[in-house]
Structure 1
Amino acid sequence: MTKPTTGPFTKTPGWLDWYAGPSKPRFVLPANAVDAHCHVFGPGADFPYAPERKYTPCDASWQQLFALRDHLGFHKNVIVQATCHGADNRALVDALQRAEGRARGVATVKRSVTDAELQALHAAGVRGVRFNFVKRLVDFTPKDELMEIAARIAPLGWHVVIYFEAVDLPELWDFFTALPTTVVVDHMGRPDVTKPVDGPEFGLFLKFMREHDNVWSKVSCPERLSVAGPRALDGEQAAYRDVVPFARKVVETFPDRVLWGTDWPHPNLKDHMPDDGLLVNFIPHIAVTAELQRKLLVDNPNRLYWPEESR
């Protein structure tokens, strides 16, 4: 892969560039596997970053994303609108249109979006909207505005992706459970993996999924959650091993409502930038049978994002 660039914008100091030399995974992905969480950034010269953004990434183009897709062995991508682009979905739409049907998108929209604009996003391949509740990344959007957006996208068959941190789930519970669509949680709600997997905090997240069968979860981003880090102690252990019990619990408890993605190009990381090949090798540690791997990587994402091909 080509090296990342910053284009006409200056990257946020201290944040790492994505890793341009990913290893070839040992784990061979099943046919028609989907990377169900990744991004494109700019390039800033073509698709400027939002003035209100809280970080500036290095550029990460659709060409570089699709090169990674092929290198890792995925067949399709789900491209999620990045907060640094705000509600300007042009970079996302451009990537979808270049994917030749092999990508779907999750957009960010405002209350002012028109029905015609929603239809145009749908035609491009968008199938969901993202609501971000991580305060260090975005400014607060009133919940009544978000609920109005959810009601408008429901007839399109879209879903809502929610990004939050585990400690905030109690105060967000009522809002999340009132959403009129399928709800997909990013990265298991960012659990604190230093706490017990059977403790009350993660137990609340499992209860959230157990009591609401419209709730799905991405079991992704161990590099953001781990304290142990990427080093495996021996060849039989996973990198980011402290995240394994949490992700495996979700996969085995809710096998028909889980997704996985690389999170490439891994924005706003400071400590280390993951090798995406190593992230793929994490998968068989959390989905330990061929059946669970197929559900996680093939059946579930295709059913959610390409339902016309799954009938």
Structure 2
Amino acid sequence: MFGIAAVLALGFAVAYFTIDFDETFLGWSAQNFALGATFGGSLLLIGIGIIQWAKKIMQDHEMVELRHPAKSSDDDRTAVLADLNAGIKESQIGRRPLIRNSLLGAVGMLAIPGVVLLRDLGPLPHGQAHTVWKKGMRVVNDISGLPIRPADLEVGQLVNAEPAVFFPAEGEDEAEIHGHELLAAKSKAAVIVVRMRPDDITPDAEKANWGIDGILCYSKICTHVGCPISLWEQQTHHLLCPCHQSTFDLADNGKVIFGPAHRPLPQLPLGLDSEGYIIAMSDFLDIVAPSYPELARDQKKLDEENNRGGA
């Protein structure tokens, strides 16, 4: 049993790297099924093996211990050590190297699934400053995939949007990314497009031409812990996060005015293409991600890259 448990623990790692994430088995995720069966089977066999060892090899006798003060006396400590040594002797662990070594091997092999699962904790958020947005990419409705013109938006309106790359037109090649990578890219590139009266907007000097007649575009990802946000108060120009109530003023460069978030919402610079559709003029110049300790370092690196590009 211990030997099979060790093989199953190794099988966990094999299944993790060889079974495709999207494969199914009897309607279930094939990878999840294999991981659960191998890891669970390994733990089960180790437990059954230890029980069988205790029942069939170790001696079975009752022990009676009288009540005593919480602090053990020296005699009690000596007695405990004597009992421990007697238990070791009765288990015959020294005389049963096959059972002993196979148990140690099986328990040691359980470290493999733990190490493999550490891969699912990454990649870490720092170093992932860029999204799929790039200059000239159209902003499209995230449901219909239709491109947006300024005339399609009324003052006070909010539209959830995505980059056009996720909605290839008829005759165009499909997106190069698929599966969970596609979902991750779509969630990171998600934006909201709002229209306000131009006189209500107070942009920073470097963002003066980032809008189109009161139309602005911001990331949909809250800078606190990454929740998607679209609770729009058109009268105050405030955007609220439903998770922890962080509030951003979209008329004032996405500035945080309430809640636990510490960074403004990243803004996407906008322009128009030759057909009058709204397009991005570049990727986000700020990191799209929840806050984390490494953010200041990576934001500085991103700013340096942007400054070199502008030069």
* TM-score in terms of structure 2 length: 0.24
* TM-score in terms of structure 1 length: 0.24
